[in-house]
Structure 1
Amino acid sequence: MSYTIKLLPSGHTFQAKGSQTIVEAAIDAGVHLPYGCRNGACGACKGKIVEGKVHLEEYQSAIISEEEIKNGMTLFCRAMPIENLTIEIKELGSTNNIKPKIFPVRVEALEKLTSDVMLMKLKLPSTDKLQFVAGQYLEFLLKDGKRRAFSIASPSYESSLLEIHLRLIPGGEFTEYVFQEMKEKSILRVEGPFGNFFLRENSIKPIIFVAGGTGFAPIKGMIEESIQKGMKRPIRLYRGARILEDLYMDALCKKWAHEFSHIEYIPVLSESRKEDKWQGCEGLVHEVVLKDFTSLNDYQLYCCGAPQMVEVAHKAFIAQGLPEDEFYSDAFTFAAPLKK
């Protein structure tokens, strides 16, 4: 059974199978809806059902309330149509109509960057190159049918060797396997690219990047791509971490700031130790941004990190004058138990 999905305010339509979520159908149709985790845990795909009914799959209850659902809101990554729909959600800019595909990769290198962050380099088949936009992510396809999503930390011109930054999640089946058992030359299956966290190149506004933890990964790819393309828009990179050790690839960020006059780097520690001998900014990374700018009205802001950090930062930046449509985010979610 196939259903027609009509988008407001654009008026565009596409088809969705009854077995697909609305986000899955949009991806297949080349329609660019906002989404992040695709498992009901980040809220990026939240929108309104104007007409029609859906079946809502499992989701994390903290992301959307029962009251919102009663008022017609839903998570389109978990909503499956059961009749024709009219929905209200803003379409995003194009990712060059790149469609996800499944392909094998070889683990070319594993390198511990900190005690709980692993750099993984993935080699694609020599006959294949992945088309993606810097900032997008891949999903590892596990043998039990589960998926694990990680951002690509490479720029798109490095399409044959992909860089992934994995943070060790205590009790996390996949990341514990990577840290404790995985060997170089292992063969894995991935699907991608996914996501719409990418640099909007049609703007001339100065850019503020805000990264928490391994939220640095997609931002690294975006900055490297902007450098390769010769972009000169002013960039301020704010990175938040607990302690100095957590600021992995700190030397690379300093190198960018030293070599390129339009790039400024501001690392921030929230729990610096005496042995860190820290002389830089302290506190929560989004609060440092707020102190540095009396108004964010003239900026474009990209934020990536844990869902709570992204949510709090979003509200604070909008209150500080950032236009709603100039906030772009990617919230990192983990395989937590789902609730209905």
Structure 2
Amino acid sequence: MSFKVRTEPGGHTFEVATGEGLLAAALHQGIGLPYGCRNGQCGSCAARLLQGEVVYPEGAPEALQGRSQDTCTTCQAVPRSDLIIRVQEVTTAAEVEVRTLPCRVVAKQQLNHDVIRLYLKLPDNQRLQFFAGQYLDFILRDGRKRAFSIANAPHDDALIELHIRHVTGGEFTDYVFDSMQEKTILRIQAPLGTFTLREDSQRPLIFMGGGTGFAPIKGIIEHAFHIGIERPMHLYWGVRARRDLYLPDLPEQWAREHSNLTYAPVLSEPDTDWTGRTGFVHEAVVADHPDLSGFDVYMSGPPMMVDAGRAAFGARGLAMDQMFSDAFEYAADSERKGDSSGR
């Protein structure tokens, strides 16, 4: 059994299974309801209940139990009937509140010779609402910022996942690799950026990542799987050598489990025993797709790769409004995204 929920003024409809939370069901079906803490404390997810009835689970904050009957805290509310709610939906990255928050390092994993994966946890009463593909800034003690892409999808938001590449002479990445310990407390500003999936398009998708440009693409692809996108997706990951494919099994697993995704790693300085694709990653894309006019293309990685892709793809019919990019610019002591932190 399930209940139907309609949002106003957005006019979207989604279903909630018996016993399922309203916010969880909405996010699973791609409906962008706002939220903050996801535990009933902050009130960011409050909606006007125009029709129907909800209950709150045992253990929910006491304040919710006495809440006005025409107000609904969606992160805790469980429908008991069909509903109509009035809520300002979040439909673009620009509509998500940028927040400054403390976080704690809960895991640090060396993925290969120069990439570390960090998992960050916000305080227990906080969750970060973001779109897949966005990034965060670490705010250093002196006010400088270091930017890294969020590598997980929004539905999996208990922790924030980052892929950090070591850059020689990079002060922050030296610290991450050499000194940072689990339980370290840091300060972040997030979410930032507009490198997000255009879900209303019906065109097939090409993702091209260079190095740790795989991180935001990972989040976008996992989000696409989660919301049930069935459009063809083609992933190209360009690195120098095999050892630079720091999560080699993951995209291969995606390709096995999802018939609409293909994957091609491309090495520019291939190992002697490498039998796969070689050269520059954008060249592999155009070799497979000489006419790109019917695609949406997402590029993430070094500026030289993004610039080369933009020129090559435009020459093969890709319109500018079907081309989305996230260039990691490395500029010492800059506050721009992708600075010397080694993002």
Q: Which runs of 5+ in 2 are unaligned?
A: 1-90, 335-343
Q: Give the aligned partner of residue 150 of structure 1.
A: 148
Q: Give the aligned partner of residue 106 of structure 1.
A: 104
Q: Is the 8 A contact 1:172 1:335 kept in 2?
A: no
Q: Is the 8 A contact 2:144 2:333 kept in 1?
A: no
For residues 123-161 of structure 1, the C-alpha deviation after alignment (integer angstroms, 9 at most, x for no partner) is: 111100100000000000000110000000000012220
- Matched residues in 1 for 2:176 and 2:219: separation? 22
Superposed counterparts of 1:164-203, under 5 Å = 164-203=162-201
- Matched residues in 2 for 1:97 and 1:224: separation? 22
Superposed counterparts of 1:286-305, under 5 Å = 286-305=282-301
Q: Secondary structure at the match of 1:328?
A: strand
The answer to whether 1:163 aligns with 2:161 is yes
Q: Give the aligned partner of residue 139 of structure 1.
A: 137
Q: Give the aligned partner of residue 261 of structure 2.
A: 263
- Matched residues in 1 for 2:189 and 2:145: separation? 9
Q: Is the 8 A contact 2:165 2:212 kept in 1?
A: yes
**How many pairs were matched up?**
244
Q: Give the aligned partner of residue 218 of structure 1.
A: 216
Q: Give the aligned partner of residue 229 of structure 2.
A: 231
Q: Which runs of 5+ in 1 are unaligned?
A: 1-92
For residues 16-57 of structure 1, the C-alpha deviation after alignment (integer angstroms, 9 at most, x for no partner) is: xxxxxxxxxxxxxxxxxxxxxxxxxxxxxxxxxxxxxxxxxx
- Matched residues in 2 for 1:150 and 1:312: separation? 22
Q: Secondary structure at the match of 2:265?
A: strand
> What residue identity is the alignment partner of 1:316?
A
Q: CA RMSD, aligned part only?
A: 1.1
Q: Give the aligned partner of residue 326 of structure 2.
A: 330
Q: Is the 8 A contact 1:128 1:160 kept in 2?
A: no
- Matched residues in 1 for 2:290 and 2:145: separation? 42
Residue 204 (structure 2) aligned to one of 186, 203, 206: 206
User: 1:95 Cα deviation (Å)?
Assistant: 2.0
Q: Secondary structure at the match of 1:185?
A: coil
Give percent identity, aligned residues only: 48
> What residue identity is the alignment partner of 1:285?
V
Q: Is the 8 A contact 1:235 1:262 kept in 2?
A: yes
The answer to whether 1:284 aligns with 2:285 is no
TM-score by length of 2: 0.70
Q: Secondary structure at the match of 2:306?
A: helix
- Matched residues in 2 for 1:250 and 1:233: separation? 23
Structure with higher Rg: it is 2
